[in-house]
Structure 1
């Protein structure tokens, strides 16, 4: 099929088509992460599930690579193809909230911030990540680790059903009774099995949370003490800890800028009157450099977006189970030796509701792991990439406590072995079997790919 014929077919859709040469083409092909410069043959801003099915069928018929984009935050840049078709869900934003049943049907072009802003007036929420501009499609299919993770579990633990367009262009409902194998697989297995057009989520009572940044000096004792306190805290408290050079934020003393600090994002979703008692062990670790933890709406807990910000990074995702002073010293030693423009070791203590779901219940197979780690180096010049990749690899090797593990939502384009690390044990074989049933030709391959069994 020629380029003109492809565009002619796509223009029969209810949605919009953006082609090379169009005024909005460059903006439409830009994804969140920088350093990704791919030029798709066409971008289809689909309007509904019928459009999705037609685009999937066109990709199958033409053999063109298909990129599926919700919010465009894939660290590997899988939301855009070079020479293929981009199926962009950004215009599919319908949200139907059932307050009495505490459920919501949400189209997958919605961002976490848009969904949360709409459910907040009802005192209800579903847990996503920590950044509002992330699309609910990608984060849900990956698992979803955010501010409510210890209290209400992963995003997929609130997923009740999904409408999915499979590789044959059919729209199916996946839930516990209908296509249960597909429902199991999409809860953590990524975009390997189809295009999710709608999700049915469970809503939870979430009003004000006590949250915000707590910034402490970065000593081994403080870091190890913070992880121990987070592990021992009530499940209503979830934390995201970044050990990093303190950025030049206006609320930080100038003498702290550039010095290593513990930049912790706190989110306590329990009774507000109990928050000070719950947070006291963290504040007792050291005199805070800054303490902006306060009652806020859950929607305010999301990190603010920076328009036009497209970071170039290399990173390594992993899980660990023990953390002591030596682990903290290892983190500090590697950060002191970083040559990147900015480097961070991010630590998320899990447990709570995540660990109560059986490992085999979903494709997210790391439920019994204690801490999720993400090591990131930011840089500007492409020629620096190899240097920073080597630093990240050395850092990861120094912290590794298993043969290899990863959270699929944080993986870059790191090769097949790292995708295996995201799906250990029997999970991989089961996912490959589901892939063979729903996508035997691997049409959905621009992702952290799981080839079909056989």
Structure 2
């Protein structure tokens, strides 16, 4: 195993030293970096003035960055600059001064220190799935951790140290080879960094809790450039804030997760015709199901996918994903009630290794999307009628109401134990429009707003699904004492609000944060 013995923090340029104790039970898996490192030479020694968006800041020396870092620096003159600045979601066209694909924690420390000294805006990128586009900046520096993909599994102790650039899919495949897993979200391409810091709601949430409920420790570079070890004993206030407080407090370089026994699951896709009765009954069945079963129900008009019968195209359906993390025979019994709600259009439910549950990604698919996420107490037949009615009113290419039943292990953690305070919420609903023409954004925004108004949401927000929705929505994500506590921790660790390109928590006493 690998045991990290916490040591003292060192200033920028030096990393916290820890004694590493190894024995024969250690298992180390190195995943291949997805980023290919190119030559360091470039025609661009300095960022052109057209890319310096912050008045009064001195130019960033690209050549100096390249000389000091082990990772790769991409500037506007490089051939892969446009690819490197693109995000998972379309419609985001920002031109950073440089994109730094860091290789290790020391690189992170140096970039943070440079940005702090120069006053540039800093964007942190892991998987690039930020709905609000916070993973890319206009005129600032993108710190891309996606090459930090180390994974150290301790199968005996059931813990794992994961680099913050690792994807949920790569982590799950490596852990799944030993019948183990940590719950992340429902996409294999999402970076473990972003989803963990937001909370992490996924296929194992009802059985094993949110991703943060399996978080044991972190190594994080804070605004002063120091590498800090944080867990329940060391820097416990920071560790509390990182479990749901987003990227407000620094750049996490490694996460230590608890691993759970998750071998063969019963899961997959189940597509049913969507009527008010079927929708309401599906949600009721999901609430009554054992906590080993998690469901995601996408109520939508069937897209013209080749595996769907032609006569179903354009008709309202429930495209549901189900995962039962437990005994296979019990899992078959648990999913049986969903098959009886209506005659299935498609039934792909079967025993499978857990990593296979993540759907394949569509290459170069960058959707334009507008959505809103909320908590609701119930989905009645009347509400289901409203859902179908509003889906019919939209002209978007894809319009969807996604329903996730929560509960189970999520509720067993006290609401003040982490920065995610919505433990008692029962159902999470996301309404979204996916479209092709940028000029249609106002039309679809109005549709989303009208849709939300009829769903009777209760107060609260899951910060991982919040877009550019204003400061009020950030307050909803962190109600009451949670907000006050986060403000104080932000003031302690990032008083100048260096880490502000996020769902920002302004430091207490700092009214001028950007």
Q: Give the TM-score band, short-chain normalised.
A: over 0.9
Match of 2:284 among 204, 221, 228: 228
**TM-score normalised by the chain length of structure 2:** 0.87
Secondary structure, in 3 states, of the residue corresponding to 1:59? helix
Match of 1:363 among 419, 442, 452: 419
Q: CA deviation at 1:8?
A: 2.5
- Unaligned 5+ segments in structure 2 are 1-44, 48-58, 510-514
2:403 aligns with 347
1:428 aligns with 483
Superposed counterparts of 1:207-356, under 5 Å = 207-356=263-412
Counterpart Cα distance in 1 of 2:159 and 2:171? 12
Higher relative contact order (CA 8 A, sep 6+): 1
Match of 1:69 among 121, 125, 129: 125
Highest CA radius of gyration, 1 or 2? 2
Q: CA RMSD in A?
A: 1.1
Residues 394-450 of structure 1, C-alpha deviations (whole Å, 9 max, x = no match): 111111233x42111111111111111111121111111110110001000000101
Q: CA deviation at 1:5?
A: 4.7
2:187 aligns with 131
Q: Conserved in 2, the CA contact under 8 Å of 1:317 and 1:405?
A: no
1:405 aligns with 460
1:173 aligns with 229
1:446 aligns with 501
Counterpart Cα distance in 2 of 1:185 and 1:268? 31
2:170 aligns with 114
Q: CA deviation at 1:9?
A: 2.8
Counterpart Cα distance in 2 of 1:9 and 1:446? 24
Question: Are 2:438 and 1:377 aligned?
Answer: no
Match of 1:51 among 99, 104, 107: 107
CA spacing shift, 1:5–1:433, aligned 2, 3 Å? closer
2:9 aligns with none
Counterpart Cα distance in 2 of 1:207 and 1:9? 48
Counterpart Cα distance in 2 of 1:363 and 1:183? 9
Counterpart Cα distance in 2 of 1:426 and 1:208? 41
Structure 1 outlier segments of 4+, above 6 Å: none
Q: CA deviation at 1:275?
A: 2.0
Counterpart Cα distance in 2 of 1:303 and 1:188? 25
Counterpart Cα distance in 1 of 2:481 and 2:388? 36
Residues 56-96 of structure 1, C-alpha deviations (whole Å, 9 max, x = no match): 11110000000000000000111111100000001100110
Counterpart Cα distance in 2 of 1:221 and 1:137? 39
Counterpart Cα distance in 2 of 1:9 and 1:70? 24
Q: CA deviation at 1:382?
A: 1.6
Match of 2:258 among 202, 223, 230: 202
Secondary structure, in 3 states, of the residue corresponding to 1:360? coil
2:201 aligns with 145
Counterpart Cα distance in 1 of 2:482 and 2:295? 28
1:81 aligns with 137
1:187 aligns with 243
1:101 aligns with 157
Counterpart Cα distance in 1 of 2:417 and 2:201? 17
232-241 vs 275-284, which moves further = 275-284
Counterpart Cα distance in 1 of 2:384 and 2:173? 37
Q: Conserved in 2, the CA contact under 8 Å of 1:105 and 1:199?
A: yes
Number of equivalenced pairs: 453
Counterpart Cα distance in 2 of 1:305 and 1:278? 28
Q: CA deviation at 1:213?
A: 0.7
Q: Conserved in 1, the CA contact under 8 Å of 2:266 and 2:332?
A: no
Q: CA deviation at 1:281?
A: 1.3
1:415 aligns with 470
Secondary structure, in 3 states, of the residue corresponding to 1:242? strand
- Unaligned 5+ segments in structure 1 are none
Secondary structure, in 3 states, of the residue corresponding to 1:122? coil
Residues 228-271 of structure 1, C-alpha deviations (whole Å, 9 max, x = no match): 10000001100001000112222221100111101110101111
Residues 137-158 of structure 1, C-alpha deviations (whole Å, 9 max, x = no match): 0000000011101000000000
Counterpart Cα distance in 2 of 1:115 and 1:401? 34
User: Whose helix fraction is larger, Structure 1's or Structure 2's?
Assistant: 1
